[in-house]
Amino acid sequence: MQKAPHSGIRLWLSRLWHLPDRISWMQPLPPAHRRGIILALIVVLLAFLWPVSAPRDSTPRPVNDNDGKEVPLQAEIYNNSPATQPVPDKDRWRSYEIAAGQTLAQLFRDNNLQVNDVFAMARVEGDDKPLSSLHSGQQIKIRQDSNGVVTGLTVEGDNGPVLFTRQPDGSFLRAQ
């Protein structure tokens, strides 16, 4: 007795149709939803994997005069602060206490101060690392100008108080 050629195809299609019934994590869903989810996944995969040809643009492209030698553009940073720094008000020193597990950057964030100032101070911090070795309960004094810009910071280091002051170019200088 010979099998009809269609019976093998039917058997394969039947197995494929009932494949979602054997996926255990889809058990709470009805069979139609299971098949719909698998079909949607196949369509999404095909959409991501479908090859796309590059668009053909008929607009002429400019010709570079530098013979293929491209020079990367570099941004120039200007100090946008006024030419004359406002004289810091001596009464603008504020004391802050470091909480348990708090870093100086977190202290600045919590008090709406520029966190980039912490990174600028860390560049000139020195080998004893007074900014990196803060502990709970330690007092930090921060001086701000009338615009709220940090112009100084004092922290008690191993060798006594350490002062960081803002320079006219925006960087900080460490003084002891």
Q: Determine the Cα–Cα distance for residues 103 and 165; give it in Å rounded to an integer.
A: 19
Residue 156 is predicted with a pLDDT of: 81
Two tokens at 100? 């348990």
More confident residue, 123 or 57: 123
Kindly give, in sequence order, each residue whose CB lies less than 8 Å from that of residue 38, ignoring residues fewer than 6 positions away. Answer: 19, 20
64-94 pLDDT, tens per residue?
A: 555 555 555 555 555 555 555 555 455 578 8
Q: Determine the Cα–Cα distance for residues 110 and 12; give it in Å rounded to an integer.
A: 64
Residue 88 is predicted with a pLDDT of: 46
Residue 60 is predicted with a pLDDT of: 58
137-165 pLDDT, tens per residue?
A: 888 899 988 888 889 989 887 778 888 89
Two tokens at 151? 């112009």
Cβ–Cβ < 8 Å for 144, 156? no
The answer, yes or no, to whether residue 22 has pLDDT greater than 60, is: yes
Length of the chain: 176
Residue 44 is predicted with a pLDDT of: 92
CB atoms within 10 A of CB 74: 6
User: DSSP string of 58-95?
Assistant: -SPPPPPSSTT------PPP---S-SSPPPPPGGGEEE
Name the pTM for this structure.
0.47
Of residues 172, 171, 176, 146, the one with CA closest to residue 161: 176
Using the 8-state DSSP alphabet, how is residue 124 labeled?
T
All domains in the chain, ordered by first residue = 7-49 (no CATH), 90-175 (3.10.450.350)
